[in-house]
Amino acid sequence: MKTRFLLIISTILSVAACTKENLTENTTGDTTNVVITGNSMNGFYNDKSKAYTISNIPEEESILFYSTGGIKADGDILKYNEGVWTGLKDNKWHMDEGEAHIMAYYPVINNDNLYDTNGELKDLVYCKTTAQPGKSINLTFSHIFSKIVFNIEKGLNDTIKKINVNIPLKIENFDLYTGEYSFYENQNENISFEKNEKGVYEFFVPASDNMTVSFEIVCPNISQTSTIGNKIYNAGYEYVCNISKRSSKGIYTKEDFIAFTHLINGETEYNGIKLEDLYVLENGVRVFNLYKDLNFTDGESALIRRIADRGKEFNDVFDGNNHSINNLTLPLNNRDTYIGLFDKTTVNSCIKNLTLVNCRIIDNNYEYCALLTGSNKGIIENCHIIGGSITNTKNVRFAGFTYYNAGYLVNCSISGFNIGNTYGTLGCLTHQNDKDIINCRITNDLNRHPEGATSSVTTITNNGNIYNVFVEKYISSLWGVCNVNKRTGQFYNCIIPNYYSSQYIKDNNNPNASPSTGIYFYEYTAEEYQTIADKLNNWIDNEGKNNYPQFTFRRWKTDDSQKVIFE
């Protein structure tokens, strides 16, 4: 089946015109020297700012300069130095010949090098202006061609091999005195782009009042050709084309996600969207794919429902595809035993490849709450919380990531987590762990010290396994691993700051869980960070792969500041 693409083309209806300015008049006379200044370049109008960005031609760079009338120049090459353009062969005003009609180009170019070797039209800025006799000249440059930008959504960009673009107009002659150009008859220009990870592809086209650009996206075993038809391309315009793989069902917009939270809870239709529009079946399992980063306002947050609220359970797969949900405030209008974005998940569920950024629970007096899940019995894999917050007004129990974990928490991290006040008892990652926390990273950078005496970094109560966990930073009021490690609880290769050496587990009821082998204390040094990364990776290569073959563990490295992070 051929893939359909949703093309959203944003054009900015503003004309990129060259600026002409005449500055202070010099002393008139037959021997008046020509003074040329100005190196600013107007950028392309873009769809967000509705205005030019301004940059400058660097020092020591050169322009191509033409002039008729009072100044004579036939392709002189001028260099910019200390605010002045120099190199004009005839540096005198010819006062009796009146105005000077000027064209200047950057970079230095001619008819033979308008295109790169791969066929791409080069970006070219120009200034077309008229100067009065004897006056100094200030040059301001604008783009002479148009720019097209393809933004390809990540889910599609991950699958492509290359993009082929056909531009039906190719420049044959360029009149450097006027800036006008003509085209070859019946000759197209074809260019190709190899896949890049950002999914942003930019190229330049001649300005034209009627041109159809076609492009082919080549994926393994399939290709699809689409067109941007009969458009006016004006000089200095930026045309943005957003391309989505809409033939693949999934969540692409905030409206889709809002609908998903209603439909998964049992509603049959929401604003014309049905649940079957949002998932694909993989081996009989419903998979809800998120294909865009979503950034919510308070008003939009109020429209969502917590997933699997009112006694329901999430029994499917939610794949964030490494996208993020940003600035979401969780609604608390429906009371439930456990509270999170996903209130409860089953043993068959999976939430993966998702990041919550600056999401929050406000004015919460409910217990058993966390940002991602209230109760997890399935798999949470490669999920991350950055900068989230929970505000409690009473002495309740809560957690950052998931309140109650009876499943797998794998390759996950939490950082920048804040609490609105000091009330309550906090487990930074979970409040109670009854199964597996594996290969996770906790940045213990709370903004406040919680009052709850049992508050802990990894989990307050451990009945399961805590393996290969790295804790960055120290908070004195928290237990370094857990408050209570019960008889079924195991911990191994938990790497925590040495400041926790006297407060990492309050009550270890399991004689088989030895602190001497389960805990590694470290100092804040570059050498220690490398040792930590090695220890974490050694666990993956040995115990991890042997005991959990169903998971692919993220490996560890040190970054430029020598701290330990996921690769």
3-state secondary structure 110-152: CCCCCECCCCCECCCEEEEEEECCCEEEEEEEEECCEEEEEEE
First to last CA, the chain: 36
Q: Average pLDDT of 533-555?
A: 95
For 114, how many CA atoms within 13 A lie in the half-sphere containing its CB?
21
Q: Does position 25 have pLDDT exceeding 60, yes or no?
A: no
Q: Does position 245 have pLDDT exceeding 70, yes or no?
A: no
User: Whose CA is closest to 409, among 497, 469, 461?
Assistant: 469
Q: What is the pLDDT of residue 44?
A: 84
Q: What is the pLDDT of residue 554?
A: 95
Token pair of 81, please?
């130095």
Minimum mean pLDDT among 266-270, 456-460, 523-527, 528-532: which range? 523-527
Q: Does position 200 have pLDDT exceeding 60, yes or no?
A: yes
Q: Does position 469 have pLDDT exceeding 50, yes or no?
A: yes
Q: What is the pLDDT of residue 562?
A: 67
What residue spans define the domains of the chain? 1-245, 283-297+310-566
How many Å apart are CA 541 and CA 534, to the nearest integer? 10
Q: Does position 31 have pLDDT exceeding 70, yes or no?
A: no
Q: Average pLDDT of 242-266?
A: 85
Q: Average pLDDT of 406-432?
A: 93
Q: Average pLDDT of 346-370?
A: 91
Q: Are 440 and 469 in contact (CB under 8 A)?
A: yes
Minimum mean pLDDT among 30-39, 322-331, 458-467: which range? 30-39
Q: Does position 179 have pLDDT exceeding 60, yes or no?
A: yes
Q: Does position 22 have pLDDT exceeding 70, yes or no?
A: no
What is the phi/psi pair of residue 260, to 5°? -55, -45
Q: What is the pLDDT of residue 243?
A: 79
Q: What is the pLDDT of residue 12?
A: 29
Q: Average pLDDT of 217-223?
A: 74
180 vs 7: which has the higher pLDDT: 180
The winner for highest mean pLDDT among 308-322, 341-355, 389-403 is 341-355
Q: What is the pLDDT of residue 70?
A: 95
Percent of the chain with pLDDT over 90: 65
Residue 422, helix vs strand vs coil: coil
Q: What is the pLDDT of residue 136?
A: 93
User: Whose CA is closest to 254, among 320, 287, 288, 303?
Assistant: 303
Q: Does position 396 have pLDDT exceeding 90, yes or no?
A: no
How many Å apart are CA 391 and CA 273, to the nearest integer? 33
Q: Are 496 and 440 in contact (CB under 8 A)?
A: no
Q: Does position 47 have pLDDT exceeding 70, yes or no?
A: no
Q: What's the count of helices (H) and strands (E) in the chain, helices before strands?
A: 6, 45
Minimum mean pLDDT among 20-29, 102-111, 490-499: which range? 20-29
Q: What is the pLDDT of residue 16?
A: 32
Q: Average pLDDT of 2-22?
A: 33
Q: Does position 366 have pLDDT exceeding 80, yes or no?
A: no
The alpha-carbon radius of gyration of the chain (Å, integer) is 31
Cα→Cα distances 414→130, 372, 440, 565, Å: 61, 11, 9, 12
What contacts 272, CB < 8 A, 6 or more positions away? none
Q: What is the pLDDT of residue 186?
A: 85
Q: What is the pLDDT of residue 448?
A: 85
Q: Torsion angle, CA of 117/119/123/126, rounded to 10 degrees? A: 90
How many Å apart are CA 162 and CA 193, to the nearest integer? 6
Cα→Cα distances 351→297, 320, 408, 430, Å: 23, 8, 10, 16
DSSP-assigned letter for residue 3: P
Give 95-127 pLDDT, tens digit per residue.
999 999 999 999 998 878 899 988 999 999 999
The sign of the dihedral angle between the CA atoms of 331, 333, 334, 337 is positive
Query: What does CATH list as the number for 283-297+310-566?
Result: 2.160.20
Mean pLDDT over the full length of the chain: 88
